[in-house]
């Protein structure tokens, strides 16, 4: 799925205009999933007039900056033996910084100190928790509140989700 990203801004006279319109430069093939970083809001960098696109980078962070947010479109490829390979996971984590979020004993299981909204745009996926799982399909919405979880695509087709991760003081370390 191609995601068109439209970002607005203000010019020197305070008039709104389209800053970006097209595919995001924040593309990352993780081997088991495709990540399209749409935007990173970092309160430490509030200057909207900067020419630096916050997703035009070589390293992506799973969690947003403190007090900020991240929007991404994530396509989970069908599970297969290759996607859980330690080499594939190592290469993915080279560019997708998960910090200490991942459970080393359960591939894919992770916890972030964030409030996340996940919306299934297409396909189906299983949300696994420590105690139970839920099957999700197109149109389902998850409110993920800093709990241990994993996304498992056991179908034969990709599943695309929109995620908004918010650094909330309610879930801070």
99 and 113 Cβ atoms separated by less than 8 Å:
no
Fold of 26-171: Jelly Rolls (2.60.120)
Q: What is the pLDDT of residues 58-115, one digit of tens each?
A: 888 889 999 999 999 999 999 765 555 677 667 677 777 777 787 778 878 889 899 9
Taking the domains of the chain in order of start, what are their residue ranges? 26-171
Average pLDDT of the chain, as a whole number: 88
**pTM, two decimal places:** 0.88
121 and 162 Cβ atoms separated by less than 8 Å:
yes
83 and 32 Cβ atoms separated by less than 8 Å:
yes
């Amino acid at each position: 799925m191609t995601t068109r990203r439209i970002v607005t801004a203000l010019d020197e006279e305070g008039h709104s205009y389209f800053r970006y319109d097209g595919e995001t430069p924040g593309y990352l093939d993780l081997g088991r999933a495709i990540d399209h970083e749409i935007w990173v809001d970092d309160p430490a960098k509030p200057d909207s007039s900067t020419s630096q696109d916050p997703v035009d980078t070589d390293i992506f962070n799973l969690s947003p900056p403190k007090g900020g947010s991240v929007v991404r479109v994530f396509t989970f490829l069908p599970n297969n033996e290759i996607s859980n390979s330690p080499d594939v996971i190592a290469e993915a984590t080279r560019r997708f910084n998960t910090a200490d979020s991942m459970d080393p004993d359960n591939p894919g299981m992770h916890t972030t100190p964030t409030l996340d909204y996940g919306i299934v745009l297409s396909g189906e996926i299983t949300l696994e928790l420590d105690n139970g799982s839920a099957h999700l399909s197109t149109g389902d919405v998850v409110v993920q509140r800093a709990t241990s979880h994993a996304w498992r695509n056991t179908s034969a087709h990709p599943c695309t989700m929109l995620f908004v991760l918010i650094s909330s003081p309610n879930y801070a370390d």
